[in-house]
Amino acid sequence: MQLFSVEEARAMLPRVIPLLERLRDSFVSLRSARAIEATRRRASVADGHPVALPKATNEEDQALQQETLQECTALLTEWGIQLKDPERGLIDFPHEREGVVVLLCYQLGESELKYWHPIETGYAGRQPI
């Protein structure tokens, strides 16, 4: 497992943030398209009238979104970064703190990398660096 210093993790953010934004956008788009399709399959007629639903994205668009998800996730993994929540843009950088491996935690929208947490507590155990 690759360990990051605080400085190394912060230095990666300019490359990571655009990737997280693409990942989030693809995740939300794909989830939405799948929800519309599921609703469309369940609802054929309501009160004797056709149900008007938003147009679902086509299969090609969904395949592209899925490919983007896979590419972004693979790149984060290659860089040694752990993806925790694609919709929130939540990631962790493994880090050694006082001889113990912990996680430096970043979420899209935060101004910088400011938090860490023990592996076992997750996001709920975030503490300022």
**Interval 16-70: pLDDT, tens:** 999 999 999 998 888 776 666 656 556 655 555 555 555 555 777 878 889 999 9
Amino acid identity of residue 2, one-letter, is Q
Q: Report yes or no on 49 lying in a domain.
A: yes
Q: Are 104 and 129 in contact (CB under 8 A)?
A: yes
User: What is the rounded distance in angstroms from the CA atom of residue 18 to the CA atom of residue 75?
Assistant: 12
Q: Which domain holds residue 88?
A: 6-128
As a 3-state breakdown, the chain gives helix, strand, coil percent values, each rounded to 5, of: 50, 25, 30
Percent of the residues in the chain that have a pLDDT greater than 70, as a whole number: 81
81 inside domain = yes
- Can you tell me the distance from the alpha carbon of 4 to that of 14, in angstroms, rounded to the nearest whole number? 15
Pick the residue with more confidence: 14 or 43? 14
In the chain, the number of structural domains is 1
Region 76-83: mean pLDDT is 97
Q: Is residue 24 part of a domain?
A: yes
10 within some domain = yes
Higher pLDDT, 32 or 11: 11
The answer to whether position 1 is within a domain reads no
- Looking at residue 39, its pLDDT comes to 60
The whole-number pLDDT of residue 34 equals: 66
* C-alpha distance from residue 64 to each of 8, 67, 71 (Å): 31, 5, 10
First to last CA, the chain: 21
Mean pLDDT of all residues in 103-123? 96
- Tell me whether residue 123 is in a domain: yes
Percentage of the chain modeled with pLDDT above 90: 67
77 token code pair:
């993994």
Tell whether 83 is covered by a domain: yes
Contact by Cβ (8 Å): 15, 72: no
